[in-house]
Structure 1
Amino acid sequence: MLLSILGLAGALAYGTADFFGGLASRRITAMPTSAIAAAAGLTALALTLPWLGGEWSASAVGLGVLAGLAGAVALPLLYASLALGPMSILSPLTAVVSALVPMTVGLARGESLSPIGYGALGLALIAVVLVGFVPEKGAVRPSLRGILMAIGSGAAIGVFLILIDLTPEDSGVNPLIVGRAVNAAIMAAAAVLIWRIGVRRAGGKWVGRTMSDGGAGSVAAHPRTLSPAVRTGVLLAMLGGFCDACANVLILIGLRLGELSVMSVLVAMYPAGTILLAALVLRERIAPVQWLGLALALVAAGLLALG
């Protein structure tokens, strides 16, 4: 039961982070959002060191670096695939792949479940697809490029989970801190590069959006001026980073206590958190198929607790 609670809590925390990140991206664009969230998450994880810190070792640092690189690959691919669309297909595809990759590795390593447990994993995968399905009117078939990006993003998320599972049990949150530091450095470097390109273009043909809408162009053209929309975006990005750090800690504890195959499927239900918050805060409608997915997710979590 504890493993199911940790997995679902981690998924909800990830979904909440995506919700805040999505709102922030509307104000300050995706790359600055990613950089700020990474820095905020690193700070939050560092604050847990006195209680959750562990032994530093070459294995903990090395696996942490690789996990950070996997995260740096996953996020841009995810944003790029969703931008190409349709989200109704590519979002659940990413989630399913992010579950299948570590689940396959876990089962190949000898993890075993009861017949109820295996049935619950299958039911959970179906729930992931239904929860992540966002009905779109007139949605077109995804391009091969979009499909490959979604698969790549899901695989990178899965690799991240595998690497965290491989970290030494006595390392505590140290691998997460190393990984987040690597991720933050990469995202910050990319954000600065994009900002500098924007500054150069602001004086020429490309100006970007105005200060009133808080777009990337406003930051480039007036680097010392922050509009209310930009300040709100920064705060939302920081909240997203904090929630993402909380999700990482919950998942780390779950992986220490249970099976990789089970945790990976439970974590893949992260779209549920985003969907529920969008319904509560933004008054977005939850489709019947998504309600069905949420119900199946709860049933699957209960069965996994028994299996």
Structure 2
Amino acid sequence: MLIALLGLTGALVYGAADFLGGLSARRISAVLTTAVTATAGLAVLLVTLPWLGGAWSASAIGWGALSGVTGALAISLLYACLAIGPMSILSPLTAVVSAIVPMTVGLLRGEAFSPIGYWALGLALLAVVLVGFVPEQGAVRPSLRGILMAVGSGAAIGMFMVLIDLTPEDSGIVPLLFNRGVNAAIMFAVVLLLWRIGARRVRGGSAGGVQEDAASAGPVDFTRRALRPSATTVRTGLLLAAAAGAVDAVANVFMLIGLRLGELSVMSVLVAMYPAGTVLLAALVLKERIAPVQWVGLALAITAAGLLALA
């Protein structure tokens, strides 16, 4: 019961963080959002370190840092696909993939599932098809780009959980500290690189007699959307990103405790229910419309996650 409570609570908190991050990415780009989110999460974890603590070791630091690399890829792809939308469709898709990856790792380790577990895996794959395929005209339809980004994000999220699960039992939140630290360092380096590339393109266009702005600076998302945003847009985006980072850090703590007390396969599918929070907020705030066949896919995804937890 405690594991289920930790997993489901963490899932709802993750969903709220993803919603905030997706809104931020629409204003200041997915790359900058990920960098600010990681920094805010690191700040929250540092504040809680005296209470949560943990033993510092090479293993805790190494696995935590490596998880920061996968986390940077996972969250940047996630926020980018949520910014494209629709949130209520792409978020569940990432969730299904993020559950399958740790489950596969568990099977390779020698873990076995009951027949219901394999049926649940089949339901999860069917859910992916139903969520991504929209036959009705006028329904919210995810783009191929958004779907591919969601699948990539889900795979990276799954690997993040696998790496955190490999950290020592007594390491506490130390791995999460290095996860956030490496994540922030990588993403701010990317922000700086893209900013310089975008600035050079703008100068080059102006020198050649062609007036370029942030919307036509090139194919890089950051230069298109975050080179010259308004002050209000930047401020709102940064605040949303900081809030997402703080909320995400709380969710990570729930996940970590659950992994310490339970199994990777069980916790991964419980956490994979995080779209519930995202879908709820997207429906209430953004008024996104979902086709009936997609509702079936969402229901199957949640059902599959619950069955996998039981298996």
TM-score tier after normalising by the smaller chain length = 0.7 to 0.9
TM-score normalised by L of structure 2: 0.79
- Give the conservation status (yes or no) of the 8 Å contact 2:86–2:142: yes
Q: Quick check: 1:26 aligned with 2:23?
A: no
Root-mean-square deviation (Å)? 3.7
Alignment map for 1:215-254 (pairs within 5 Å): 220-221=227-228, 227-254=231-258
- Between the aligned partners of 1:91 and 1:305, the Cα distance in structure 2 is 19
- Give the conservation status (yes or no) of the 8 Å contact 2:22–2:82: no
Q: Quick check: 1:3 aligned with 2:15?
A: no
Which residue number corresponds to residue 196 of structure 1?
A: 196
- Give the conservation status (yes or no) of the 8 Å contact 1:98–1:268: yes
Residues 209, 150 of structure 1: alpha-carbon distance in 2 compared, 3 angstrom cutoff: closer
- Give the conservation status (yes or no) of the 8 Å contact 1:254–1:263: yes
- Between the aligned partners of 1:86 and 1:286, the Cα distance in structure 2 is 9
Residues 295, 209 of structure 1: alpha-carbon distance in 2 compared, 3 angstrom cutoff: closer
- Between the aligned partners of 1:171 and 1:293, the Cα distance in structure 2 is 38
Alignment map for 1:104-119 (pairs within 5 Å): 104-112=104-112, 118=117
Displacement of 1:157 in angstroms is 1.5
Q: Quick check: 1:259 aligned with 2:258?
A: no
Worse overlay, 242-251 or 68-77: 68-77
Q: Quick check: 1:125 aligned with 2:124?
A: yes
- Between the aligned partners of 1:131 and 1:170, the Cα distance in structure 2 is 42
- Between the aligned partners of 1:37 and 1:266, the Cα distance in structure 2 is 23
Percentage of matched positions with identical amino acids: 62
Gaps of 5+ in 1: none
- Between the aligned partners of 1:29 and 1:15, the Cα distance in structure 2 is 19
- Between the aligned partners of 2:246 and 2:164, the Cα distance in structure 1 is 19
TM-score normalised by L of structure 1: 0.80
- Between the aligned partners of 1:261 and 1:74, the Cα distance in structure 2 is 19
Displacement of 1:100 in angstroms is 1.2
Which residue number corresponds to residue 181 of structure 1?
A: 181
Which residue number corresponds to residue 289 of structure 2?
A: 285
Gaps of 5+ in 2: 217-221
Residues 86, 137 of structure 1: alpha-carbon distance in 2 compared, 3 angstrom cutoff: farther
Which residue number corresponds to residue 72 of structure 2?
A: 72
Residues 3, 111 of structure 1: alpha-carbon distance in 2 compared, 3 angstrom cutoff: farther
| Aligned partner letter, 1:259 | E
Worse overlay, 98-107 or 159-168: 98-107
CA deviations 1:51-82 (Å, max 9, x no partner) are: 11110000000000110011122234446667
Match of 1:207 among 207, 213, 216: 213
- Between the aligned partners of 1:103 and 1:22, the Cα distance in structure 2 is 27
